[in-house]
């Protein structure tokens, strides 16, 4: 009898060890497509705690009550004439104080890993009378290609438990400033953001999360802890910008921001499959198919909004395929409501001529007033 019990115990141990076989992500497991879309469900949580660390972990995200949807689109960059080694790019926006700067961020997936390699800024000019009081004062952000001087890999191949690496780059924003009160006339300046990041694979095991078909799925996963630091410095005419000017623009020389978050990666799925943003206080996950075939077909398509960018005075088409959206609210970058409309099913939203060009958030609500989708749109 003792022999039977001992054999049973050994069998259980062996089975346990097999179920938690070592998780490794090789380049062959990360076949990044040139063009695809992602949708992530997100829930904000008070006093969010980090996920458990260590080998042979089990993580369960099936009890989340997602309240937001974040959509992103990556486009093919294989024919780009400047970023010739780029795999794809993503249209995004950056904030310089309260000014919105549009950019295309370029990424590469190669034998070393997956990394952002540079960006292409859109030239834009802002009147700044509300800041300086000068009717002719202006800030011009120079457009053009801005390659990063160093490499920061989101993941490095082969990726496995206890790997750690540090990278960083300088993100440069060139501008010209005209402020009559300071004797500045198209004076060249630069904002340099010194970005440093340390990534450590702190966990390995099984991740359970909702799948595309309404059930749940369990996949092998690696958990990466990310500690990011960004230090901003502003120079004007080759010298540090004067304190009075920094104060007027609500900027601080040497401003340092830190961020801590965790991301899950799984063999066979490109991009991360889930994340914990400790600084931001939310958890997000991608809704996947049980077997990965392509990123685009695996992600949940909650709503389709087009065209984007859209011109003021024209129609924005909203195809609601998953949830019953009953109200649409257009919000500018300051949080001000620009437009609010009730809709039902597939609808068209008229963008008034009075809406100025720029980046906006389009929030979708259900009949209970719960926000179920947030999309970034560009109005031209």
Query: What is the 3-class SS of the chain, one letter each residue?
Result: CHHHHHHHHHHHHHHHHHHCCCCEECHHHCCCCCCEEEEEEEEECCCCCCCCCEEEEEEECCCCCCCEEEEEEEEECCCCCCCCCCCEEEEEEEEECCEEEEEEEEEEECCCEEEEEEEEECCEEEECHHHHCCCCCEEEECCEEEECCCCCEEEECCEECCCEEEEEEEEEEEEEEEEHHHCEEEEEEEEEEEEEEEEEEEEEEEEEEEECCCCEEEEEEEEEEEEEEEEEEEEECCEECCHHHHHHCCCCCCEEEEEEEEEEECCCCCCCCEEEECCCCEEEEECECCCCCCHHHHCCCCEEEECCCECCCCEEEEEECCCCCCEEEEECCCCCEEEEEECCCCEEEECCCCCCCEEEEEEEECCCCCEEEEEEEEEC
So what's the pLDDT on residue 10? Answer: 41
328 in Cβ contact with 349 (< 8 Å): yes
Domain spans, the chain:
23-298, 303-379
So what's the pLDDT on residue 20? Answer: 56
Instruction: Just give the CATH number of 303-379.
Output: 2.60.40.1930
So what's the pLDDT on residue 296? Answer: 32
Round to whole Å and give the CA distance between 130 and 281. 33
So what's the pLDDT on residue 224? Answer: 98
So what's the pLDDT on residue 13? Answer: 39
Name which of 125, 165, 118, 170 is nearest 145 in CA terms: 118
Round to whole Å and give the CA distance between 222 and 267. 9
Name which of 37, 59, 8, 7 is nearest 274 in CA terms: 59
Low-confidence ranges of the chain (pLDDT < 50): 1-19, 290-303, 321
């Amino acid at each position: 009898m003792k022999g039977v019990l001992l054999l049973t115990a050994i069998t259980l141990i062996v089975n346990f060890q097999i179920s938690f076989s070592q998780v490794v992500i090789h380049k062959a497991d990360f076949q990044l497509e040139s063009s695809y879309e992602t949708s992530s469900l997100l829930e904000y949580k008070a006093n969010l705690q980090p996920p458990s660390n260590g080998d042979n972990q089990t993580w369960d995200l099936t009890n989340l009550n997602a309240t937001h949807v974040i959509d992103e689109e990556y486009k093919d960059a294989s024919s780009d004439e400047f970023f010739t080694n780029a795999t794809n790019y993503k249209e995004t926006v950056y904030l310089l104080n309260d000014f919105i700067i549009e950019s295309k961020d370029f990424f590469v997936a190669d034998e070393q890993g997956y990394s952002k390699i540079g960006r292409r800024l859109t030239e834009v000019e802002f009147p700044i009378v509300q800041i300086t009081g000068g009717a002719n004062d202006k800030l011009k952000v120079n457009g053009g290609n801005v390659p990063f001087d160093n490499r920061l890999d989101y993941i490095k191949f082969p990726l496995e438990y206890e790997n750690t690496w540090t990278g960083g780059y300088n993100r440069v924003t060139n501008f010209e400033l005209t402020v009559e009160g300071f004797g500045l006339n198209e004076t060249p300046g630069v904002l340099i953001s010194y970005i440093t990041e340390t990534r450590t694979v702190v966990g390995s095991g099984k991740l359970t999360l909702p799948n595309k078909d309404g059930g749940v799925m369990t996949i092998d996963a690696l958990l990466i802890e990310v500690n990011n630091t960004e230090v901003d410095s502003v120079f004007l005419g080759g010298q540090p910008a004067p304190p009075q000017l920094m104060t007027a623009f609500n900027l601080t020389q040497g401003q340092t921001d830190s961020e801590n978050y965790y991301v899950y990666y799984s063999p066979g799925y490109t991009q991360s499959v889930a994340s914990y943003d400790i600084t931001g206080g939310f958890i997000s996950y991608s809704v996947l198919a049980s077997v990965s075939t392509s990123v685009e077909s695996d992600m949940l398509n909650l709503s389709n909004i087009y065209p984007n960018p859209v011109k003021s005075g024209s129609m924005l088409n909203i195809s609601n395929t998953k949830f019953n959206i009953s109200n649409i609210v257009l919000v500018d970058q300051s949080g001000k409501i620009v437009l609010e409309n009730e809709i039902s099913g597939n609808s068209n939203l008229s963008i008034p001529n009075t809406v100025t060009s720029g980046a906006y958030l389009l929030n979708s609500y259900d009949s209970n007033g719960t926000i179920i989708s947030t999309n970034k749109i560009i109005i031209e």
